[in-house]
């Protein structure tokens, strides 16, 4: 209708928010950053068997300056926390955080004095992925939920949502 039919599919018309969100979620570069056994599942997710390049995420960056997404994969000890916070602060905005596994979400089985009882005490977590460790399918589901969440952002503000279902593409 209207302008769309006139241009005959050579030009697509959309809102600026949608276009920015789509760009961000379609090339979200994760940080190569693992803390414990969850890191192995994360690596398995990145490489060819599960293959996050299907979602534009295969470029795992060794430098926080080039990364958009921090996957906190594993047990965060209290002595590691200053380094994690520093890496997070070095990441350029917009940046997102996924808490992967029971330890990153809540401290998991390590309810003791040496382990941070949930990384959300210190970082703004966007998606929590339960499991010990989560299977690659679970991580992929979490990443798709994050994509769906990014698509609901407006004006660069985080979406305030109680629950987000992963959208079909």
Partner 1 sequence: MNQQEIRDKLFEQFGEEVIKGEDLFRDQVTLTVDRSRIAPVCRFLKEDPELAFDFLSFVGAVDRYPSRPRFEVLYQLYSLQRNHRFRIKALVDETDSEPAAIDSVVSLWPTADWHERETAEMFGITFKGHPDPRKLLLPEEWTCHPLRKDFHVEGNDEETPDLPRKVEQGS
Which residues of the shown chain bind partner 1 in the complex (CB under 8 A)? 78-79, 81-82, 85-86, 89, 111-114, 116, 121-122
We find the least distance from the C-beta atom of residue 65 to partner 1, in angstroms, to be: 16
Q: What is the dihedral of CA 86, 153, 51, 84, to 10 degrees?
A: 10
Residue recorded with tokens 């000890």: 77
SS percent in the chain: helix, strand, coil, step 5: 40, 10, 45
Question: Distance (Å, rounded) from C-alpha 128 to C-alpha 1?
Answer: 41
We find the least distance from the C-beta atom of residue 113 to partner 1, in angstroms, to be: 3
- Output 84 or 146, the one with its CB closest to partner 1: 84
How far is the CA of 37 from the CAs of 12, 13, 74, in angstroms?
Answer: 44, 45, 6
Burial of 143 (0-12, 13-18, 19+ CB in 10 A): buried
We find the least distance from the C-beta atom of residue 82 to partner 1, in angstroms, to be: 5
- Output 111 or 165, the one with its CB closest to partner 1: 111
- Output 6 or 113, the one with its CB closest to partner 1: 113
We find the least distance from the C-beta atom of residue 119 to partner 1, in angstroms, to be: 10
How far is the CA of 102 from the CAs of 4, 11, 131, 133, 151, in angstroms?
Answer: 48, 46, 6, 7, 26
- Output 111 or 169, the one with its CB closest to partner 1: 111
We find the least distance from the C-beta atom of residue 90 to partner 1, in angstroms, to be: 11
Question: Distance (Å, rounded) from C-alpha 158 to C-alpha 77?
Answer: 28
- Output 28 or 31, the one with its CB closest to partner 1: 31
């Amino acid at each position: 209708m209207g302008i769309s039919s006139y241009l005959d599919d050579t030009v697509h018309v959309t809102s600026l928010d949608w276009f920015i969100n789509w760009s961000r979620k379609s090339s979200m570069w994760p940080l190569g950053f693992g803390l414990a056994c969850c890191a192995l599942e994360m690596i398995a997710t990145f490489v060819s068997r599960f293959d996050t390049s299907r979602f534009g995420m295969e470029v795992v960056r060794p430098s926080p300056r080039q990364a958009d997404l921090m996957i906190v994969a594993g047990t965060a000890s209290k002595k590691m926390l200053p380094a994690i916070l520093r890496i997070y602060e070095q990441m350029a905005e917009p940046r997102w955080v996924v808490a992967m596994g029971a330890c990153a979400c809540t401290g998991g089985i390590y309810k003791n004095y040496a382990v941070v009882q949930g990384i959300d005490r210190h970082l703004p977590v966007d998606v929590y992925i339960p499991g010990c460790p989560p299977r690659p399918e679970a991580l992929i589901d979490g990443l798709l939920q994050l994509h769906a969440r990014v698509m609901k952002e407006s004006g660069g503000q985080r979406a305030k949502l109680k629950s987000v279902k992963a959208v079909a593409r």
